[in-house]
Amino acid sequence: MTGSATTDATAKQVVAAPQPERKIGGVLLRLEDISLHFGGVKALDHVSFEILEGEIRGIIGPNGAGKSSMLNVINGFYHPDEGTITFKGETRPEMRPDETARQGIARTFQNIALFRGMTTLDNIMTGRNTKMHRNFLWQALHFGPAKNEELEHRLVVEKVIDFLEIEAIRKVPAGRLPYGLQKRVELGRALAAEPDLLLLDEPMAGMNSEEKEDMCRFILDVNDEFGTTIALIEHDMSVVMDISDRVVVLDYGRKIADGTPDEVRDNQEVIDAYLGAQHD
Amino acid sequence: MAGATSGVPDLTVHDTGPKLLRYNVEHRGERPSMREKDLGIWQSWTWAEVADEIRALACGLKLAGLERGDKISIIGDNRPRLYWSITAAQVLGAIPVPIYQDSVADEMQYVLDHAGSRFAVVENQEQVDKVIQVKDRCPTLEHVIYCDPRGLRDYTEDFLQNYTDCIAAGKAFDAANPDFYDQEVEKGKGSDTSIYLYTSGTTGQPKGVVLTHHNILSTSAGAVEFEGLNETDEMLAYLPMAWIGDHIFSYGQAYTSGFCVACPESADTVLTDIFELGPSYFFATPRIFENLLTTVMIRIEDAGKIKRWMFHYFMKVAETIGPKILDREPLTLGERLLYFIGNLLVYAPLKNTLGMSRVRIAYTAGEAISPDIFNFYRSLGLNLKQLYGMTESSVFITIQPNGEIKSDTVGIPAPGVDVKIDDNGEVMFRSAGIFQEYYKNPEATSEMKAEDGWCHTGDAGFIDANGHLKIIDRAKDVGRLNDGTMLAPKYIENKLKFFPNILEAVTFGDGRDYAAAFINIDLQAMGNWAERNGVSYASYQELASLSKVYDVIQEHVAQVNRDLADDPELAGSQINRFLILHKELDADDGEITRTGKVRRRTVNEKYGPLIDALYSDASHCKIDTEVTFEDGRTGSITADLEIREAKTIEAAVAQAAE
């Protein structure tokens, strides 16, 4: 028999969330004087900057500058040796990644970290994990409140799938997808958590120019449609300068510049860091 | 069907689309009219709900300034809102002009400007961007309504309007002027122009075919009665809305029979959507049936040994027994038993996978289908039929009646259609569906329409002993080799295309000494072959140039030559030399039409050096090709192509001589 999934739902058109005018708000995240050591290596050296609500914040720097360490500090993978992190106005104590996730920080990884054997749908569903309240026994029964809860989460996931235009791979195991799509699924999983702050670690690494263009579009759309604040590490200079509102530049664990793309581009220290300084 | 309201409404009373909509609300208001998969779930709208939506939209369009006689372009994938826009525009006496959604901006500009559209209803940001890009060159265009607001919030152009805003305004207007809508519907007449459809045209610029409500509805109704379609049928609308076929099936026939039309979730999910929906009425172009078959064949080749054996064995069985069953010929007990087992093990599961378990009627049209592909589906027990028609005839010229189906004919004249063969062998027809004119192109109109009410088709054909029409080729494409042998390019190309590895073929030979061919490999099938055989490649171009790939294709060409050798008339047109093109023929480059037909003239011009090389002793030929990307930028590809000799067979001719 042909499987027929035709249901006459009452909700004809899911109403899009009210769309606020895009504006940069107050400080969402403030990093003060953050230092981090691995043995004798200074990964971060008294770095301070802030991320404003609603902005796209680029973090750039040469290899080994401490960019990924910075993200890891923000989402609780690493604990800074010195300094304070203030998120949504509260200075936070040492936190585990799952706790920061609950607070509204989601991220993607430089090397894709999907469940390869699970479908796109299930992978994105895991992004809802922190928001599920029934324990696994309830979920296993798939009955009553647990079922309703799953339906709610599924709706969010389907909106993400619609947003990222990946309907056609809904049921395809992540491991079988090409690289560019895996990156998109990973973004989907982060979005499913409905984060206030989205951390993207090299979302465009290894992509061809068409995939990059698509990904840029999605990042701008996420920021635009949902008002999500985004912190972005990226090596492709033209991309960062194009989509970021403000850029912070790290070099050897130190902050060497901070400002709009134009300001940063003209900063002598940044030029030196990237091209190598000339000494007479 | 028990309980189903059957019979076609009286078209002298309900003579326009909007009036038929009212009829459907009165007779089957609670039955589903449209479905669309949204957020993973199929949503449905009843005829009554659809009518409410169209009522509000018509009023909204009125408020936005749409007047009787205005042209309104419809651009996007198959979406309920776009279908409703067509009817809503017709309510006001405006003329919808659907445009192919994958047109590049310049093609879109041509149609917008030529039709003189004042309004456009477009699907999403992609289409809005294209319209904005060309708006300066479309002086008549004033107002653009978009259905999906995503990404459009920062657009400040004041001619843009959100569909939901248009509906809301329309509802308010309707509440204040409750009689307005019905008065507008009453003003419509069957003889009013209902739509302009631009033919993609294998030559030159597209032409706007002007059709009336009477054209569309009477031909639709004729075919509805002929096939016994009714309100319980379902179909998936996935072919371009700007194509006459979709307009007849998803609008004309849906309105005259009351069946339900479903829109796929996205263009990429069509196969899944067909599977979930299980349509009872299905239409696809030969190319789609080919692609489906290719997919099946790839999966079979990847399957285990037993499954593979089972598939090939029972497909052989089906090839002999299947057509007999559909043509209601008597079977022996052994044949019945074998087919029963085959059905259990192979045919039914395969049909289910293809989403065709419930299909009562499946059509193919648009161009000639390869007999092998046609027979493959028929032997599975799928009631696949051919029909013959064109935009200028509102589709139906001939249909194959159930039980009288042959792969090489296109059936008998459809209800209300007269067909005759002109002295020069060209097929001509006369029907209620005959188009009014080509918009702003009287010369082309007079070339097509003869004075006595007959219309040219441009196809060469004849009527066989059973009264069935047989189309050989485009009248202008049928050629002769220098020795006088007939060359029917499309016939040979279709034979080549049956091999999953071959996506497209172009044959030459008119006025030459022998036939030769360009081959386009199918990346999916050939890539799969490469994977299984440990052949590595980096790009389409590299794969197409590998000598091992040439070996495979050479064998296919030889097989086609063997088939041709069996037919004394065509034995002389065997392919002597061929080459594999380094890029896929692409609609963006103008090499094929948006519906997938090869534009021979463009190919001839573009690949002239390659054709010359096919008719020389050269074993290689260099070519520099310009390619156009979807956004209109161009680049170029340089390649050095190998040319191979193909094995030709003399045997059959010799035998025939014995």
Amino acid of residue B596: G
Q: Which chain A residue has the Cα nearest residue B269?
A: A168
A277 has a chain B CB within 8 A of its CB: no
> Which long-range contacts (C-beta less than 8 Å, at least 24 apart) are formed by B61-64?
B61/B88, B61/B89, B61/B92, B61/B94, B61/B119, B61/B145, B61/B166, B61/B170, B62/B92, B62/B170, B62/B173, B62/B180, B62/B184, B63/B166, B63/B169, B63/B170, B63/B173, B64/B119, B64/B143, B64/B145, B64/B161, B64/B166, B64/B169
Q: Which two tokens mark B493?
A: 């190309």
Closest CA to B19 of B160, B148, B186: B186
A2 interaction partners in chain B (CB closer than 8 Å): 275-278, 352, 355, 357-358
Cβ contact B253:B427 at 8 Å:
no
Q: Is residue A111 part of a domain?
A: yes
Grade residue A21 by pLDDT with cuts at 50, 70 and 90.
Answer: low
Q: Which pLDDT does position A199 carry in this prediction?
A: 94
Under DSSP, is residue B190 helix (H, G, I), strand (E, B) or coil?
Answer: coil
The pLDDT of residue A272 is above 80: yes
Residue B5 pLDDT > 50, yes or no?
no
**A5–B278 CB contact, under 8 Å:** no
**Does position B515 have pLDDT exceeding 80, yes or no?**
yes
Task: State the first-to-last Cα distance of chain B, in angstroms, to the nearest integer.
Answer: 58
Dihedrals φ, ψ of A216, to 5°? -55, -45
Angle ∠(A215,A220,A221) on CA atoms, nearest 5: 95
- Least confident range from A73-87, A114-128, B456-470: namely B456-470
What phi, psi does A8 have (nearest 5°)?
-95, 90
User: Which of B44, B45, B358 lies nearest to residue A6, judging by beta carbons?
Assistant: B44
Mean pLDDT of B18-36: 96
Model pLDDT, residue B115: 96
Q: Going along B522-591, which residue ranges are E strands? A: 575-580
A3 vs B275: CB contact, 8 Å cut-off? Answer: yes
pLDDT of residue B93: 96
Residues of chain A contacting B278 with CB distance shorter than 8 Å: 2-4
Yes or no, beta carbons of A155 and B39 under 8 Å apart: yes
Q: What is the pLDDT of residue A279?
A: 52
**Residues in chain B within 8 Å Cβ distance of A4:** 276-278
Does the beta-carbon distance from B42 to A5 stay under 8 Å?
A: yes
Using CB atoms, which residue from A6, A14, A154 is nearest to B35?
A6
* Domains B17-213+242-250 and B284-474 equal at CATH topology level: yes
Q: What is the pLDDT of residue B245?
A: 92
Q: In whole angstroms, how large is the CA radius of gyration of chain A?
A: 20
Of B39, B44, B151, the CB nearest to A221: B151
Other Cβ atoms closer than 10 A to A133: 8
Q: Domain for residue A1, yes or no?
A: no
pLDDT the model gives residue B478: 77
pLDDT at B80 exceeding the cut of 50: yes
Phi, psi (deg, nearest 5) at residue B141? -75, 125
Considering only CB atoms, A4 lies closest to which of B151, B154, B276, namely B276
Summarised one tens digit per residue, pLDDT across range B418-439 is 999 887 678 999 999 999 999 9
Question: What are the boundaries of each domain within chain B?
Answer: 17-213+242-250, 284-474, 479-657
CA angle (B481 as vertex; B475, B485 as ends), nearest 5: 85
Highest mean pLDDT among A6-20, B133-147, B327-341, B488-502: B133-147
Across the interface, whether the CB atoms of B153 and A14 are under 8 A apart is answered no
Which of B410, B391, B367 is CA-nearest to residue B598? Answer: B367
Give the tens place of pLDDT for each residue, A161-197.
999 999 999 999 999 898 889 999 999 999 999 999 9
Q: What is the pLDDT of residue B127?
A: 94
Residue B583: alpha-carbon gap to chain centroid: 23
Contact B512, B499 (CB under 8 A): no
* B327, pLDDT greater than 80: no
Interface membership of A16 toward B (CB under 8 Å):
yes
Average pLDDT, chain A: 84
Instruction: Name the residue facing A9 among B41, B266, B278 (closest C-beta).
Output: B41
pLDDT, position A46: 92
Chain A residues with beta carbon closer than 8 angstroms to that of B49: 12
Give every CB contact of residue B471 below 8 A, 6+ residues apart in sequence: B368, B388, B410, B427, B459, B460, B461
CB contact under 8 A, B277 and A4: yes
* For range A56-64, the mean pLDDT: 90
Which residues does chain B have within 8 Å of residue A158's beta carbon, measured at their own beta carbons? 39-41
Q: What is the pLDDT of residue B588?
A: 82
SS3 B418: strand
Output the pLDDT for position A205: 85
CATH number at residue A171: 3.40.50.300
Residues of B at the A interface, defined by Cβ within 8 angstroms: 32, 35, 38-45, 49, 149-151, 153-154, 265-266, 268-269, 272, 275-278, 352, 355, 357-358
- Given a cut of 60, whether residue A19 has pLDDT beyond it is no
* Residue span of the structural domain in which A95 resides: 27-275
Q: What residues of chain A lie within 8 A of the CB of B150, using their CB?
A: 16, 163, 221, 225
pLDDT band of residue B408 (cuts 50, 70, 90) is confident
Smallest CA–CA separation between A89 and chain B, in Å?
A: 30
- Examine the pLDDT at A17 and tell me if it is beyond 50: no
| Residue A138 scores a pLDDT above 80 | no
- Tell whether A84 is covered by a domain: yes
Give, as one character, the DSSP assignment of residue B400: P
Q: What is the mean pLDDT of chain B?
A: 89
Instruction: Give pLDDT, residue B202.
Output: 57
Nearest to A224 among B44, B153, B357 (CB): B153
Beta carbons of B275 and B353 less than 8 angstroms apart: yes
The DSSP string of chain A is -----B---S--SPPPPP-PPP---SEEEEEEEEEEEETTEEEEEEEEEEEETT-EEEEE-STTSSHHHHHHHHTTSS--SEEEEEETTEE--S--HHHHHHHTEEEE-SS----TTSBHHHHHHHTTGGG--S-HHHHHHT-THHHHHHHHHHHHHHHHHHHHT-GGGTTSBGGGS-HHHHHHHHHHHHHHT--SEEEEESTTTT--HHHHHHHHHHHHHHHHHH--EEEEE-S-HHHHHHH-SEEEEEETTEEEEEE-HHHHHT-HHHHHHHH-----
Burial class (CB in 10 A: 0-12, 13-18, 19+), A117: exposed
Assess whether pLDDT exceeds 70 at residue B11. yes
The answer to whether the CB atoms of B278 and A161 lie below 8 A apart is no
Cβ-based contacts under 8 A for chains A and B: 75
Chain B neighbors of A171, CB-CB under 8 A: 272
Tell me if A160 is assigned to some domain: yes
Q: What six digits make up the tokens of A96?
A: 């585990």
Is the CB of residue A170 less than 8 Å away from at least one CB of chain B?
yes
Q: Is the predicted pLDDT of residue B614 greater than 50, yes or no?
A: yes
Percent of chain A with pLDDT over 90: 45
Condensed to tens digits (0 to 9), the pLDDT of residues B579-589 reads 999 988 988 88
Tell the CATH topology of B17-213+242-250: Rossmann fold (3.40.50)
Tell me the CATH architecture of domain B479-657.
2-Layer Sandwich (3.30)
Residue A13 domain-assigned (yes or no): no
Residue B369 confidence (pLDDT): 80
Contact residues, chain A, for B153 at CB < 8 Å = 19, 22, 224-225
User: pTM of the predicted model, to two decimals?
Assistant: 0.79
C-alpha dist (Å) from residue A57 to A54, A180, A197, A239, B437: 9, 23, 11, 12, 59
Between chains, do B151 and A224 touch, taking CB under 8 Å as contact?
yes
Give a yes or no: residue A20 inside a domain: no
Residue A13 pLDDT: 38
Q: What's the pLDDT band for B402 if we cut at 50, 70, 90?
A: confident
Report the C-alpha gap between B96 and B484 in whole angstroms: 48
B224-263 as b/e: b if 16+ CB within 10 A: bebbebbbbbbbbbbbbbbbbbbbbbbbbbbbbbbbbbbb
- CATH code, B284-474: 3.40.50.12780
Return the number of other C-beta atoms located less than 10 Å from residue A210's C-beta: 11
Q: How many domains does chain A have?
A: 1
**What distance in Å separates residue B265's CA from the closest CA in chain A?**
7
Which among B39, B45, B278 is the nearest to A158, CB-wise?
B39
Q: B-chain residues within 8 Å CB-CB of A14?
A: 38-39
Alpha carbon distance A271, A264 (integer Å): 9
The model's pLDDT over B129-173, given as tens digits with 9 standing for 90+, comes to 999 999 999 999 999 999 999 888 888 999 999 999 999 999 999
**Weakest-pLDDT range from A35-44, B138-147, B188-197, B241-250:** A35-44
